[in-house]
C-alpha cells in the first residue's frame, strides 16, 4: 500500500479558495467513495473534516467541500481563514480486507 | 463528556518491550471501536489497527500485522498497544481514537486522545 499523493504545501490569502488534491490508484481512491479528510493543527490530534468524499460531520464549516474524479479526490477550502492553517490528510479505503486504509502524504496549508 | 486519555511519554532502548494505554470515559467503552494511529516525526498518519473492546475483535493494517499487538481490558475501559521488541524506527507519536461516527457501514474517528510519544534510542 503506497501513501496517497498530496502536494506538500498550498497557500492562499484570507478569503481566497484553495484546493488540495489527493491522488491514489484504481485500487483505493478510484474504487471507493470512502475518501475522508482530516485537519491537524501543530501538536494536536487530527480532526475529521469530510467523509465519503464530500460529506461534512456536524460542526464542520460549509467552507470545506470535497469531490472525486477517477483516482483523484480533492478538498476545497473557501473563504480561507487564519484558523484553517494546518496540515490536511486524505484517507481512502484500499482493498477489500476488513481494515485496509491508506492516508495521503499530507499538505501544509498556509494562510498568507 | 467523552474522553480518551493515553499513558505518558516513553523513552526506551532498542529491543525492549513496551505497552502503552488508552483509557476511555464518559461513554460505553465496550461498544465503540478504538483505532491506533502512528505519526512518525514530521511525517503523516498511518492506521495501525482497530479493536472492539466488547469482544476484543482486532483488525490490523497489513503493514503492522505481526509488528504490534492491540488488546483491551474491558473491566477498566482501557485499550493497549504493545511491542515485544522495539526498534529505532518505532519512534513516533501514537494516537488512539474512538471510531464513533458511523454511517453507511463505515466508522470514522470522532474523539482522539492526546497522543503518546515513544522514543526508541540506544
- Chain A's closest residue to B117, CA to CA, is A43
Q: pLDDT tens digits, residue range B5-35?
A: 999 999 999 999 999 999 999 999 999 999 9
Closest Cβ–Cβ partner in A45, A91, A106 for B112: A45
Q: pLDDT tens digits, residue range A40-93?
A: 999 999 999 999 999 999 999 999 999 999 999 999 999 999 999 999 999 999
Check CB contact of B61 with chain A, cutoff 8 Å: yes
Give chain A's length: 112
Does the beta-carbon distance from A99 to B101 stay under 8 Å? no
> What is the rounded distance in angstroms from the CA atom of residue A17 to the CA atom of residue B122?
47
Check CB contact of B114 with chain A, cutoff 8 Å: yes
Q: Is pLDDT of A96 > 80?
A: no
Q: Would you give the DSSP letter of residue A4?
A: B
Q: Which three cell numbers stand for residue A87?
A: 496540515
Check CB contact of B58 with chain A, cutoff 8 Å: no
Check CB contact of B53 with chain A, cutoff 8 Å: no
Q: Is B104 left (phi over 0), alpha (psi -120 to 50) or beta?
A: left
- Residue B47 to chain A, least CA–CA distance (Å): 7
Mean pLDDT in chain A?
95
> What is the rounded distance in angstroms from the CA atom of residue B6 to the CA atom of residue A104?
25
- Residue B71: pLDDT band with limits 50, 70, 90: very high
Does the beta-carbon distance from A36 to B108 stay under 8 Å? yes
| A107 within 8 A of B51, measured Cβ to Cβ | no
> What is the rounded distance in angstroms from the CA atom of residue B97 to the CA atom of residue B110?
7
Check CB contact of B56 with chain A, cutoff 8 Å: no
pLDDT for position B106? 87
| B122 within 8 A of B14, measured Cβ to Cβ | yes
Amino acid at each position: 500500500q503506497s501513501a496517497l499523493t498530496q502536494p506538500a504545501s498550498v497557500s492562499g490569502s484570507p478569503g481566497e479558495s484553495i484546493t488540495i488534491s489527493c491522488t491514489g490508484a484504481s485500487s483505493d481512491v478510484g474504487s471507493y467513495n470512502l475518501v475522508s479528510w482530516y485537519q491537524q493543527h501543530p501538536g494536536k490530534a487530527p480532526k475529521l473534516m469530510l467523509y465519503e468524499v464530500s460529506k461534512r460531520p456536524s460542526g464542520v464549516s460549509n467552507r470545506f467541500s470535497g469531490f472525486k474524479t477517477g483516482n483523484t479526490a480533492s478538498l476545497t477550502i473557501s473563504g480561507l481563514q487564519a484558523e484553517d492553517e494546518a496540515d490536511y490528510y486524505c484517507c481512502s479505503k484500499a482493498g477489500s480486507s476488513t481494515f485496509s486504509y491508506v492516508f495521503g502524504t499530507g499538505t501544509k496549508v498556509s494562510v498568507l | 463528556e467523552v474522553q480518551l486519555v493515553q499513558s505518558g511519554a516513553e523513552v526506551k532502548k532498542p529491543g525492549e518491550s513496551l505497552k502503552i494505554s488508552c483509557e476511555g470515559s464518559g461513554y460505553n467503552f465496550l461498544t465503540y471501536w478504538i483505532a491506533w494511529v502512528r505519526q512518525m516525526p514530521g511525517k503523516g498518519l498511518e492506521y495501525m489497527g482497530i479493536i472492539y473492546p466488547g469482544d476484543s475483535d482486532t483488525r490490523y493494517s497489513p503493514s503492522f500485522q505481526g509488528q504490534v499487538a492491540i488488546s483491551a481490558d474491558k473491566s477498566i475501559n482501557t485499550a493497549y498497544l504493545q511491542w515485544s521488541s522495539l526498534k529505532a524506527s518505532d519512534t513516533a507519536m501514537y494516537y488512539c481514537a474512538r471510531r464513533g461516527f458511523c454511517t453507511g457501514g463505515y466508522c470514522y474517528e470522532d474523539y482522539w486522545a492526546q497522543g503518546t510519544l515513544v522514543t526508541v534510542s540506544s
